[in-house]
Structure 1
Amino acid sequence: MERNEPSRKRLFIGLLCGTGLCVCAVLALVWIIPYIGLANIHPLAPWVLGAVFAVAILVVLWATVGLAASVALGRAMFGSDRLRGVMAKVFLPLMTIFARLFGISKSRVRASFIKVNNEMVAARTGCYTPAQVLVLLPHCLQSSQCLRRLTYDINNCKRCGQCPVDGLLALSEAYGVHIAIATGGTIARRIVVQKRPRLIVAVACERDLSSGIQDTYPIPVYGVLNDRPNGPCLDTQVALPHLESALRLFLVQGEARQPVFGKMKLLAPYAASSSALGGRR
């Protein structure tokens, strides 16, 4: 997992710069095409429109260079929160289209986006109290054989240890953070509105994490990938030591607490598989 991190950053920077340049080229083209016709309306009309598009091009270049610098240097830059929103709302959809031209899959684009987003969010280390943090989980972490309904109240779990929910509840109790299970985007948004967190630590697959980061902006979301030994959406797992390390990273005085699943270093602000890190079973 560690050796894949630089390639993800290079992929993201490459797609980001390529997308930014394409947007600038389109804006320039849109200006050039009506240039001749606008002169017939008013002599200054082409220059007024040109000034508008020039400002738009400068804004796109600022966002592109700012994001690329933040990613390359691995630290937050001035206006990084706003840049994170531009990345999620504007660049990610455009980058997905741009990547398709080169045969790059959506999953690779999403994985690189989550990795970069996590690095930008991780700049806020030690900034949150437990009451400000929400751990949001997918329903597929619950055993498919379990008959208990956990969507509306995760505490209905009987804690038999047959799925990761037992360990997740132990983390919630140890650190005092809110924890909830969502079956989809609509319920997830409702939980966010009810809890009003300042930080979300979300466990999901690449697709759901990417859409969740977009939907909940400006609330920062730190994504942890689930492990899918049985395929998507069925009896998935999560690396509990990694999730605990993420909580300790953000919580005020998190290091003063005794680790529940063992302290481990985050090699990068990105999720590793539970099969590699282990977990409570």
Structure 2
Amino acid sequence: MSAAHDKTAAPRKRLFIGLMGLTCLILVGVIFLAWWIPSKGLANIHPDLPRYVGMSMAVLSGIAMLGTALLVLTTALGKDIFFTRFMRLVVIKFLLPVIEFVGKVLGLDRDRIRQSFIAMNNSLVISQQYRLKPDRILVLLPHCIQLFDCEIKVTGDINKCVECGRCNIKGLVELGRKYHIDISVATGGTLARKVIVEKRPKLVLAVACERDLTSGIKDCYPLPVIGILNERPFGPCFNTMVNVGAIDEALQQVLDVHSSPASESP
């Protein structure tokens, strides 16, 4: 098995959760220092002012720790406990940049952090227990999934594929037929955003590398995105691969089984 395959095979949430806990402790420490350093001067203004400010800082620290605990519980239990959608906003827009900075200071690989973030995001999306009709879900693929030298380009219409089986497109076409899911191939972020605007899905299942998935999840919020990492045995953006079974499994977790053609009896 190649190194590129090993790197993207099984992203886990534990790294992101650990960095999130460390970031929470750092935030609590900063809040404490923000109260303690000027507290001596606050007493000169009013004797009770340090206490009031201290209580406010304690509330902020409590919120930070409670939010971290709720995120961990939500991902661990796979259930929407409280404010999951808002917590996704906090993780995507605020925590991720801070956690990436903390990881950089610790010398951690940025792609490993992104892999863990994607796994964390997927857990938060799935915990909301979506049950959507097939026509409300969009599967978005990068063009590098198709073989570079294939004469039949499937960008814009994946059903042009002649299903020779040389790349993963055949399995994805079969998956589209199985669930009657809309599958699109995009040549870049701009076209991907255009497809999303045109299709107006309720949920996107996207295949890409760490950088593009992280960027796409951030850009699409509040639209829920489930990210599946591609495999790059020949390097980035060239004859990449994807685990079709992982896409199938993810779809089963968000599809309305009563409306999916795959669930109907023959």
TM-score range, shorter-chain basis? 0.7 to 0.9
TM-score w.r.t. structure 2 length? 0.82
Take 1:205 and 1:103, find their aligned partners in 2: how far apart are those partners?
A: 21
User: Of 101, 118, 122, which residue of structure 1 is paired with 2:122?
Assistant: 118
Q: Which runs of 5+ in 1 are unaligned?
A: 260-281
76, 86, 90: which one aligns with 1:86: 90
Which residue does 1:243 correspond to in 2?
247
Distance 1:188 1:51, change over 3 A: farther
Letter in 2 for 1:186: T
Distance 2:214 2:170 in 1: 26
Q: Is the 8 A contact 2:155 2:184 kept in 1?
A: yes
- Once the two structures are overlaid, the 10-residue window that deviates more, 189-198 or 227-236, is 189-198
Q: 1:50 to 1:235 in 2, by over 3 A?
A: same
Please point out which of 206, 218, 221 is paired with 1:217.
221
Change (3 A) 1:254 1:243: farther
Q: How many residues align?
A: 256
Give the Å deviation of 1:125. Answer: 4.3
Higher RCO (CA-CA < 8 Å; seq separation 6+): 2
User: 2:148 corresponds to which residue?
Assistant: 144
- 1:66 matched to 2:75? The reply is no
Structure 2 unaligned runs (5+)? 1-5
Q: Displacement of 1:140 after TM fit?
A: 0.9
Alignment of 1:51-62 (within 5 A): 52-62=56-66
124-133 or 46-55, which moves further after superposition? 46-55
1:170 to 159, 168, 174: 174
CA 1:77/1:126 → structure 2, altered by over 3 Å: closer, same or farther? Answer: closer
Counterpart in the other structure of 1:270: none
User: In the aligned structure 2, how far is the partner of 1:44 from the partner of 1:184?
Assistant: 58
CA distance in 2, matches of 1:154, 1:238: 15
Q: 1:46 to 1:195 in 2, by over 3 A?
A: farther
Query: Is residue 96 of structure 1 aligned with residue 77 of structure 2?
Result: no
Q: Distance in 2 between matches of 1:232 and 1:89?
A: 26
Q: CA deviation at 1:136?
A: 0.8
Q: Are 1:10 and 2:14 matched, yes or no?
A: yes
Whichever residue aligns with residue 234 of structure 1, its letter is F
